[in-house]
Structure formats: C-alpha cells, structure tokens
Structure 1
Amino acid sequence: MDAAPIPLADIEAAERRLAGHAVTTPLLESRDLSRRAGGRVLVKPEVLQRTGSFKFRGAFNKLSSLAGPERRNGVVAFSSGNHGQAVAAAAAELGMPAVIVMPQDAPAVKIERTRAFGAEIVLFDRHTDDRAAMARGLAEARQAVLVPPFDDPMIMAGQGTIGSELARQARQLDAGLDHVLTPCGGGGLIAGVASALHALSPPTRVTAVEPAGFDDTGRSLVAGERLTNPSLAGSICDALLSPTPGALTFPINHRLLAGGLAVSDEEVRAAMAYAFAELRLVVEPGGAVALAAVLTGRFRAEGATTALVLSGGNVDPALYAATIAGR
C-alpha cells in the first residue's frame, strides 16, 4: 500500500528548473490569525504564484523536462481550471502547443484565462463525460504528452518545492513547524509538500483539508484504501472535486499524512471573507479550506506553530463579490 516519498533530489531538481520562472511565494505571519488560533500561524500564499495557483510549479517542471518530438507535438491536460491555466502558461513560455480539457461549468474566468495563454479548449460535461478518457484520446490522436493534474512524479516534485520553501522560510523566522495544513483534491500538492517536509522537517505533521462531502482522501486514509466521492459536483470548491485520490499520490499520502479534515462551503466562504479583510489576499474557495479549518477550530492550533497553504486565488468575480459582501 504505502509508497516511498518523492525523493528530495527530485524536488531540488524541480527547484532548479523553476528558478527564474516560478515565484518564490513568501511565508506570512498574521497576529490576528495567531491570536484567534491560540498558536503561531503562518500563511503560504500560493495565490501570488504565476497563473494564480500552485499548479504552475508542477506544470512547468513537467513540461520543461520534455524534449525533441515530445516538445514539438505538445501536451494535453484535463483540469477544472488551475492545472489547465498552469499547463497553458508553461507551454506558451516553452513554445509548445497545448490542448486543455475543461468542464463546461468551470468558472468562466478560468476558461477565459486558459484560452488567453493560447491553449485550445475542449469542454466536457463532468456529470456524463470521462475527462481522463477524452484527454487520453486527444493525446493519442495528436501524439502529444498527457499531463495529468496530480498523478505524475514530475508534477508532485514540482509541487514539493512549496514544502522545501516552507522549511527554509520557517527556519528564517525561527519557527519550528509543528503542523502544515494543505488543501487536497487528487493529492499531488500534499504528496509533494509532505515528501519535502519528511526530508527537511521530519517532526512536522501534515494534514489534508477537503470540502465536506468530497473528503475522499480523508476517508481513504482511515479506510486504508482509495475511496470515491459520491458526486463530482455540489461544492463551491471546484478546484478540489477529484473523484478519488490518485493511484500514485495516495500510497505516498497514506504513509506520510497525519490525517484529513473537511469543512463546509459556508465555512469556506467565511474564510475567504476573512482572508480579504484581515490578510488582504484574494483566495478562491478550494484555496481557503486550510484557513477555514483553523478559523472554525476544526483544527486545534493552540500552543503550536502551524503553516497553512492558500493554494489558489482564481475565483469567479460574482461569487467572490457576494462572498466578501456576506451574501
């Protein structure tokens, strides 16, 4: 069942590829958030990353490793938005063609921005279509490389650079990391982060946070096997609605994670509003789940040092306006 973590050497190689391309996001400290939590709380705002989410790290690491015919024929990806934007942006920078398979009900801002990077968009119905099968078919027809959103060692290594940055930045702040909370969809982000911290900060406990009703990783950790979500839609956290934990990510996460938590859409909305009012950060629903877990007390942070990953900021403007207005 369990698998070895992503090697630190692979994460360090990803850091070298990303140098000069990705943003080294800061590690911020909020006195108000720490006061509310009763412990020291640090925030890693991947909302400031290129394309507005952590996904650029994994996408660029994967695409920049391609050469020859693979680079000429380009890539195909399937995504609710953030992975698609990241692959499209990385492909544009590297001069590669890209096709992105996206759900019809993805936030319009994500579809528009993905198209703006020059990618071809193919839409699917998340209720009836098999997005992975569609993407595989397109990749085979075009002899292109399929770039999955999480179930790929190069993707996980790229996301792992968040963990290595966290470890270094926490040392600079003289903060021994007791806990790290990370949003979790398919598990690539948290597998990479947990792998880096396993090597660089072994005492740190890493916890997955998911939307209520879509906590497949949390339930799978308890069951010891990959479980599925009963639905693929029904939460505002569109970035985290994967059907099941990844075949490659779950064995790593089963070995490394301390557990999983789930938060409701209303708790996520409150966290988004808090991030705007107190942290001055625009955070999308899926990116706010770890913050919601602390604000609600579902994760008890008293007397500890806890870092939260805010994974993305690509939110539908109408949803965001209503959220921060309290409607």
Structure 2
Amino acid sequence: MVRQSLPESEPFVTVTISDIEAARRVIAGAVLRTPMLPAPRLSALTGAEVFVKYENLQVTNSFKDRGALNKLSSLTEAERGRGVVAMSAGNHAQSVAYHAARLGIPATIVMPVTTPHVKVAATRSHGAEVVLYGETVADAQARCEAIQAERGMTLVHPYDDEKVIAGQGTIALEMFEDVPDLDMMVIPIGGGGLISGNAIAAKARNPKIEVIGAEALLYPAVWNALEHGNRPVGGPTLAEGIAVKNVGKLTLPIIRELVSDVILVDEAHLERAVNAYLTLQKTMAEGAGAAGLAALFAEPVRFKGKRVGLILCGGNIDPRILASIMVRELERETRIVAFRLIIPDQPGVLGIIATRLGQLGANILEVEHRRLLLDVPAKGASLDVTIETRDAAHAREVMAALDADGYKPKRLGSGPMPD
C-alpha cells in the first residue's frame, strides 16, 4: 500500500505511549493479563512463526474490556450518575455493560437487530438496558446519539475515543513483554480502536515493527479511506464485530501514519481461521477475532518466515454458526462428500450400495432417495448420499470404486474432486 499524505482535516490524535501506560495502571487487577503463546500448528499451516495473544479469555471474552474500563474509570461522579450509552454489535456492548455494573453506572446499549442472540443475551445478563435498532452499527449509532441527547448520558464510543484507544493499546505492551522480537503484528480492523492503540504502543516499543490490518472484504471502510477507493461496503459477514461502515475520525489518522497495509479477507478465509483456532488451538474465535489469522491464510507468502503476533481479539460466536463452519470446513477438506448416483429402482439396491460404502471404509451421514426427477429413467431412481471420509485421497478412492461399479457418481455442491 502506498501511504497517502495526511490531510489537514485529519489532525493526528494525541494518544501517546504514556497514555497507554497510564491506562494499564487503571485497568490492572480488573482486566486479565492474557497469555501470549507460540502456536506451532498455526506456524506449520501458514509458514510464519506465529504467536497468539488470547484476548478471548477476558471475562466478556473480548479485548473490549480494556478500553471500556479505561473510559468508564475516567468519568466524574456526575457523569456516572447520569449513566452511559454505547452502540455495539456485541463485544463492546458486553464490556461496557459488565464494567458499568461493577462500577455502579447505569448503562444503555444500542445493538443492531442482526446481532447474534448470544451477544444480546450476554449484554442483558450484565444488567444493561438493551435497545435493538437498525441493521448495522451505523444505524445503531444514530439511535445511540439520540438517546445520549435525550437523557444526558455519556457516550462510550466503541473506537473513536482517546481513552478507549489507550485502553486497547495495553495489549501490545503485554505482547512485547512476552515476545519482544516480533517482526509483524496483524490486527483486525473495524472502526480502528484496536489497531490504533496497539500500533502506537508497538511502534513505541519497536519502531521497526510492521503493523498490518485485517479488514473484512465486505466492509472495506478503512481500506477505501486509505486508498481513496470505492469498494462496496455491506452484506452478511461472519466478522460482524468488525462490520463497520463509518471510519473513526480519531483512528484513521493513526492508521494512516502507523499501519503499513490493510489486507482484505473474504468469508472463506475467515471461516478457515475460526475453524483452525478451534481444531488446532482448541480455543474459540469469532469471525472478527480470527481476522488476523485469516490474513495470513490470504497472503501466506508475505508472512513466510516472519515472527508474527496475532491478537485473537474475541471469542463470542454463536454455537450454531460455529457448528456450521466446522462442517463446511470438513467439506472443503473433502472429509465430508456429497454425491449423486443414478440407480435401478429395484429392491435391495440401497442395501448393496450401503454395504459397498462400508467395505470402502466410508461412513454414511445422509441418504435421499428420489424417483420423480425428469432426468432419471422411469425405471431408475436418484440417490443422493453424503459420506464421511478420512481425507481427499480416500474420497477419490470411494468415488472411483462407485464409478467402476457402474453408478457414475457426480459430486454435489463443491465442484470436482481435488487432485
């Protein structure tokens, strides 16, 4: 990325390393100092030497605890009495609600109606008033600002606030204490609070480190702002936590100055990253939390051989979505295969095929038998079978055997069998 010059309308925000160090003292004891650990299996998968900072272990399972608490702790007694309001797709909401309850501050949270139920329920469980409004965080922001004006509350912005930015930057302080010789940090970008605070802290600790952002392909708001691009912004994404249309006025100048590039990650790479965290690291990552790893999957050559720090910034994912991702990844890996056979409509044929699949070591997951399709002979039937295999080679073996038996299997849904 060729960095554009800083427009006069974008003054560099005055968050310093001293502010971040002060924030660390404020949140100490109330926010977990999360572990940063080497991830050899992710390293083998990506070609980089990967270290993961597990912010999904916070009380609310997200890094947002840091910025929210730093902001709430800065309020005057009068401001605390009037309460706070925030808009969020989930993680900021939970963090504000949780720490506001701890500090005895009334909290109202505006969330898009599309927010996963698990995040809405968690926010309510901390005692906050939840208002569901609009399809996106941008829609929720308009309602949030109206409530702020009506009730005289203090806005706790999810990213465009100096106290919030400083709080998020405490992550990098801990990362450099654990692994001081990182070559790169790859950090998810939504509104920019996480990457801004951590870029400031990282550059203060090591001016030579390269900070790279990972942004959802469907929500390239920061990428557009940096590149003067006009990519469309919107659509259903697994990374709803970074599905932001409005770029932060405070965060954009920091990103422009300190972040060397922004990688756009598509939904397939996000799914793969969520699955890799679960199956390889045995830890939960939501789509936004896995965006940094998704960037390594998207552009592995760029990171090959580098010591890379990732922030697993959130683990609040709907269990049903997670289950779907796991199955979809098994299909991508050809460990689950669906295919169609055209068979004679005769007694015993289903039993013969089931026995044959058993002999081949395939586990039958689902069978659908149809007689009325027009592309099937009048004395034939269509049989859709979904099986579990050991790997792609085993799947090819099964398909070849069925073809040799005269059933002419046609793979469904995922294109041709990989070589």
Kept in 2, the 8 Å contact 1:37–1:297? The answer is no
Aligned partner of 2:386 in structure 1 is: none
1:122 and 2:131 equivalent?
yes
CA distance in 2, matches of 1:313, 1:143: 33
Distance 1:86-1:266 versus aligned 2 partners, 3 A rule: same
Runs of 4+, deviation exceeding 3 Å: 127-130, 227-233, 296-299
Deviation, 1:228, is: 7.3
> Runs of 5+ in structure 2 lacking a partner?
1-5, 330-419
1:141 to 128, 150, 154: 150
Aligned partner of 1:239 in structure 2 is: 241
CA distance in 2, matches of 1:16, 1:37: 36
Encode CA deviations 1:71-98: one digit per residue, 9 max, x unaligned.
1111000001111011001101101100
CA distance in 2, matches of 1:230, 1:122: 28
Encode CA deviations 1:229-286: one digit per residue, 9 max, x unaligned.
7344321211011113201100111000011001111111111111111111100011
Deviation, 1:32, is: 1.8
Query: Secondary structure in 1 aligned to 2:60?
Result: helix
Aligned partner of 1:295 in structure 2 is: 297
Aligned partner of 1:74 in structure 2 is: 83
CA distance in 1, matches of 2:158, 2:279: 31
Query: Secondary structure in 2 aligned to 1:80?
Result: coil
Kept in 2, the 8 Å contact 1:160–1:192? The answer is yes
Identity across matched positions, percent: 38
Aligned partner of 1:186 in structure 2 is: 191
Distance 1:48-1:95 versus aligned 2 partners, 3 A rule: same
Kept in 2, the 8 Å contact 1:293–1:299? The answer is no
Q: Give the total of aligned pairs.
A: 320
Aligned partner of 2:414 in structure 1 is: none
Q: How does 1:33-72 map to 2 (within 5 A)?
A: 33-72=42-81
Which structure exhibits the higher relative contact order, with contacts defined as CA atoms closer than 8 Å and separated by 6 or more residues? Answer: 1
Kept in 2, the 8 Å contact 1:221–1:259? The answer is no
Kept in 2, the 8 Å contact 1:180–1:307? The answer is yes
Amino acid of the structure 2 residue aligned with 1:206? V
CA distance in 2, matches of 1:15, 1:229: 37
Kept in 2, the 8 Å contact 1:229–1:243? The answer is no
Aligned partner of 1:260 in structure 2 is: 262
1:107 to 116, 129, 136: 116
CA distance in 2, matches of 1:285, 1:127: 16
- State the structure with more CA Rg: 2
Deviation, 1:131, is: 2.1
Aligned partner of 1:308 in structure 2 is: 310
Distance 1:128-1:322 versus aligned 2 partners, 3 A rule: closer
Amino acid of the structure 2 residue aligned with 1:198? K
Aligned partner of 1:326 in structure 2 is: 328
Encode CA deviations 1:112-134: one digit per residue, 9 max, x unaligned.
00000000011112269832221
Kept in 2, the 8 Å contact 1:8–1:196? The answer is yes
Amino acid of the structure 2 residue aligned with 1:264? D
CA distance in 1, matches of 2:326, 2:184: 28
Query: Secondary structure in 2 aligned to 1:307?
Result: strand
Distance 1:302-1:230 versus aligned 2 partners, 3 A rule: closer
Deviation, 1:215, is: 1.7
Distance 1:298-1:214 versus aligned 2 partners, 3 A rule: farther
Query: Secondary structure in 1 aligned to 2:18?
Result: helix
2:26 to 7, 11, 17: 17
Kept in 1, the 8 Å contact 2:19–2:166? The answer is yes
Kept in 2, the 8 Å contact 1:267–1:292? The answer is yes
Encode CA deviations 1:26-67: one digit per residue, 9 max, x unaligned.
111111222233331111111112201111100000001112
1:213 to 215, 218, 240: 218
Q: How does 1:151-190 map to 2 (within 5 A)?
A: 151-171=160-180, 176-190=181-195
CA distance in 2, matches of 1:129, 1:217: 14
Encode CA deviations 1:139-195: one digit per residue, 9 max, x unaligned.
122221011110000000000001111111113xxxx11100001000000000001
Query: Secondary structure in 2 aligned to 1:192?
Result: helix
Kept in 2, the 8 Å contact 1:163–1:197? The answer is yes
> Runs of 5+ in structure 1 lacking a partner?
none
